[in-house]
């Protein structure tokens, strides 16, 4: 049981790390570092870099919450720690 719990926790931490990296790339990378090249592209009447800084990072963050919830529910069922 202890090894199973350690595997569960390791997979949980790996998932969190991946999702946080995606969020950092989108919010910090696209919204700040790459804003000038992205501003050459227009989306919905706004430069893409501006869109990422103002709305895109928030949308991605909300999507990542749903992805985390979905994947954690699946992981919980896999390790039989789900709430039934």
- Confidence band, pLDDT 50/70/90 cuts, at residue 1: low
Angle separating helix axes 57-78 and 2-24, nearest 10 degrees: 170
CB atoms within 10 A of CB 14: 10
Question: What's the chain's average pLDDT?
Answer: 92
Q: What confidence tens digit (pLDDT) does each residue in 33-47 have?
A: 999 999 999 988 889
String of DSSP letters for 42-67: EETTEEHHHHIIIIIHHHHHHHHHHH
Q: What confidence tens digit (pLDDT) does each residue in 9-21 have?
A: 999 999 999 999 9
Prediction pTM value:
0.82
CA dist 50 and 32 (Å) reads: 9
From 69, 55, 54, select the one nearest 19 (Cα to Cα).
Answer: 69
């Amino acid at each position: 049981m202890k090894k199973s719990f350690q595997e569960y926790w390791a997979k949980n931490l790996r998932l969190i790390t991946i999702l946080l990296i995606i969020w950092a790339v989108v919010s910090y990378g696209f919204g700040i570092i790459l804003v000038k090249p992205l501003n050459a592209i227009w989306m919905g009447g706004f430069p893409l870099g501006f869109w990422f800084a103002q709305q895109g990072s928030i949308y991605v963050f909300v999507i990542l919450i749903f992805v985390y919830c979905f994947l954690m529910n699946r992981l919980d069922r896999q390790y039989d720690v789900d709430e039934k």
